[in-house]
Amino acid sequence: MAWLVTGGAGYIGSHIVRAFEAVGIRAVVLDDLSSGHREFVGPQTPYVEGSILDTDLVTRTLREHEVTGVVHLAGYKYAGVSVERPLHTYTQNVTGTVTLLEAMAAAGVGNIVFSSSAATYGNPDVENVTEQTPTAPQSPYGETKLIGEWLIRDQAVATGLRFTALRYFNVVGSGAGDLYDSSPHNLFPKVFEDLLEGRTPTLFGIDYPTPDGTTVRDYVHVQDLAEGHVAAARRLESGAAIEPVYNLGSGSGSSVREIMDTMREVTGIDFSPTIGARRAGDPARIVASGELAGRDLGWAPQRDLRDMVESAWQARRGSVQDA
């Protein structure tokens, strides 16, 4: 018995692989290294380099490793850039999911945990997003994630596939010193890069209707997120009832100013962020409720903002020293 993790050499995927292995579940990684890192996959973990668009490769991998379930993360995940590259985004995220589902059907694999996104909600006009909040994606990326959910749901109707989709917002932190977020588009690595290069980070807007005037977002430690995927996989394999969608959210959130203040304390680098204009389309507050995941998966965030910043900083500094 094994679980295939597509995109398992990436920041989130590599944490999920290790979380599976920590509880005795064998994991197999499929990744084309378009954004992942080969060194994120341990020597004991079976690794297949290739694309989910390669139906024969995916089918062969599922069969050879006797895979019983898939955690599907592989795809193009940059929401902003997806506006400039819609066809690429749809090919990777929609066609790729179709190909994976075809391979799973051919190999008789009956369980899937889909890495979805809070981008499916767009910019909801509610303080706490629940699974009942209407979806209204605002980017090709968000659209492809919602379509991925639909594809899996429809395949489940046709074949009896057991599935769930996990939607989450901002994933940060590190669960191991050798795993770090290398995305050039995410807040934590962008601020750390500024600090390491001697630049001043920027706050985009300080006049929002929030306690300190800066936007509030839901941040979840990557290790908490990885453990949520393990819980979902176990519930699928147990045969217990499971919802089609769960939010993995804190229910509270943190402001960008709070994050900057914590970064100043943790890094020991004294800085006052530059104040920039609001970015178009940025809502004041988006926070997700994780109550449903708590009820069914026994999941709740265990790590706070300081844990997130400290672990992310340690991992990022380690990557710089190793470079």
Q: 246-262, pLDDT tens digit by residue? A: 999 999 899 999 999 99
- What are the φ and ψ backbone dihedral angles of 165, each rounded to 5 degrees? -115, 135
pLDDT at 300 over 60: yes
Helices (H), 128-206: 140-159, 187-196
Cα–Cα dist 323/321, whole Å? 6
Average pLDDT, the chain: 94
- Amino acid present at 84: E
Q: What is the pTM of this model?
A: 0.95
List 11, 90, 141, 208, catalytic entry: 141
What band does 320 get if pLDDT is binned at 50, 70 and 90? low
pLDDT computed for residue 308 by the predictor: 97
Q: Which residues contact 120 (CB under 8 A, 6 or more apart)?
A: 135, 137, 142, 145, 146, 149, 167
Q: What is the mean pLDDT of residues 88-105?
A: 97
The question of whether 219 is a catalytic residue gets the answer no
Q: Which two tokens stand for residue 318?
A: 């380690």
- What are the φ and ψ backbone dihedral angles of 193, each rounded to 5 degrees? -65, -40
pLDDT computed for residue 101 by the predictor: 98
pLDDT at 192 over 70: yes
What band does 319 get if pLDDT is binned at 50, 70 and 90? low
What band does 303 get if pLDDT is binned at 50, 70 and 90? very high
Q: Which residues contact 178 (CB under 8 A, 6 or more apart)?
A: 39, 40, 315, 318
The domains of the chain, with CATH numbers, are 2-171+219-247 (3.40.50.720), 173-218+250-287+302-322 (3.90.25.10)
